């Protein structure tokens, strides 16, 4: 297992009151935030199936996922087993469990808007080690 610590400010300087640029084919792009409070970004996995997700991440804070486009499926470790949860447009998911994600239609074909804290730690653990 490995751990990554995120400390504020953990987001780039963003142009205010104007559209932000989303980089295509990037797994995780932090867009903006409010120092010591929250940050927001775009999640678009390269993985295309459960087998492409060898590890799950567990944060010390919750995350909110909202599907923007395409298809994106979350893999959650709940009650001792894996649960596959396809995201639905317009239905946010508040995630506290160890998780990963994949795009079943091909790498980066789905995109979710994600909100999380500006300071937290993440443990990455092999899926088969949970």
The residue ranges of every structural domain in the chain are 2-129
pLDDT over 80 (residue 130)? no
What's the CATH number for 2-129?
2.60.120.10
Residues 6+ away with beta carbon under 8 Å from 114: 40, 41, 42, 43, 63, 64, 65, 66
The pLDDT assigned to 121 comes to 97
How far, in Å, CA of 28 to CA of 51, rounded? Answer: 20
**In degrees to the nearest 10, what's the CA dihedral of 59, 70, 42, 78?**
0
| Tens of pLDDT, residues 65-78 | 999 999 999 999 99
Of 103, 101, 113, 111, whose CA–CA distance to 32 is shortest?
A: 113
The pLDDT assigned to 129 comes to 76
Q: Which two tokens stand for residue 59?
A: 């944060």
């Amino acid at each position: 297992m490995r751990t990554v610590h995120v400390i504020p400010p953990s987001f780039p300087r963003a142009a205010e009151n104007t559209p932000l640029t989303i980089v295509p084919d990037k797994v995780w792009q932090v867009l903006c935030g409010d120092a010591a409070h929250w940050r927001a970004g775009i999640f678009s996995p390269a993985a295309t199936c459960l087998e492409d997700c060898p590890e799950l991440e567990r944060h010390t804070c919750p995350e909110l996922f909202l599907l923007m486009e395409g298809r994106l499926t979350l893999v959650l470790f709940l009650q001792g087993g894996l649960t596959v949860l396809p995201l639905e447009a317009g239905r946010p998911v508040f995630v506290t469990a160890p998780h990963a994600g994949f795009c079943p239609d091909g790498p980066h074909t789905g995109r979710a808007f994600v909100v999380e804290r500006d300071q937290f730690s993440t443990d990455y653990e092999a899926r088969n080690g949970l």
